[in-house]
């Protein structure tokens, strides 16, 4: 299982689901959807459908770019971050 947390979204993927999501995200026509819903009352106009028929994720262009940057690598290509790259107040016990 792979877990991806982004904003208030929590994705739990099997490897096959992650690959499918990756493929969908990188084939997503962001400009098309922004033009298609240009008169929408919502700022977020780029839809990501889910298997649940009554749930649709809406993102804006910046959020799609951020999400792409999170999933641009395949799961087996992820590397551990060294401690000095984590900007978090850490208390050693």
The model's pTM: 0.71
> How far is Cα 2 from Cα 64, in angstroms, rounded to an integer?
19
Q: Minimal CA–CA distance to 2: which of 85, 81, 77, 93? A: 77
Residue 76 banded pLDDT, cuts 50, 70, 90: low
> How far is Cα 30 from Cα 28, in angstroms, rounded to an integer?
6
- The single residue listed with the structure tokens 């809406």 is 58
> How far is Cα 51 from Cα 89, in angstroms, rounded to an integer?
38
- The single residue listed with the structure tokens 């790259």 is 85
Reported as a single tens digit per residue, the pLDDT across 9-50 is 899 999 899 889 999 999 999 999 999 999 999 899 999 998
């Amino acid at each position: 299982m792979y877990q991806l947390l982004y904003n208030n979204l929590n994705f739990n993927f099997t490897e096959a689901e992650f690959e499918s999501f990756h493929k969908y995200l990188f084939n997503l026509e962001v400009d098309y959807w922004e033009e298609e819903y240009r008169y929408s009352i919502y700022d977020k106009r780029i839809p990501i459908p889910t298997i649940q028929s009554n749930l649709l994720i809406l993102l804006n262009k910046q959020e799609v770019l951020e999400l792409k940057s999170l999933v641009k690598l395949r799961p087996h290509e992820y590397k551990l971050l060294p401690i000095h790259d984590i900007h978090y107040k850490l208390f050693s016990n």
